[in-house]
């Protein structure tokens, strides 16, 4: 993700995790993404409505997601360094 402007912004992201490997392959091909697709990465036997991933120690995974919306908070003032002289 890259900032939308040259100024610092607070951004709110809403996204959906892609748990279907066919859908993930489609988005990878569409956007020319070279990361691997893991079959069965998500725990589908859970009662939770949220996706679950089992990680081994020090393991890293690529979690596929689709943005639902992106909103930048334009009310945040830019942080400016001021020259101050001490003593």
Domain ranges of the chain: 10-73
> Whole-prediction pTM value?
0.62
- DSSP summary character for residue 75: T
CA 44 – CA 52 distance, rounded (Å) = 8
pLDDT tens digits along 10-66: 777 788 999 999 999 999 999 898 888 888 888 878 888 888 988 889 988 888 888
Residue 82 has pLDDT above 60, yes or no: no
- DSSP summary character for residue 53: B
């Amino acid at each position: 993700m890259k900032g939308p402007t040259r100024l610092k912004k607070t951004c709110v992201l809403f996204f959906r995790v892609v748990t279907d490997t066919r859908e993930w392959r489609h988005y990878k091909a569409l956007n020319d993404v070279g990361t691997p697709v893991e079959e069965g990465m998500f725990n589908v036997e859970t009662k939770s409505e949220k996706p679950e991933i089992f990680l081994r120690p020090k393991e890293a995974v690529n979690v596929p997601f689709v943005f639902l919306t992106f909103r930048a908070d334009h009310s945040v003032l830019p942080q400016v360094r001021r020259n101050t002289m001490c003593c």
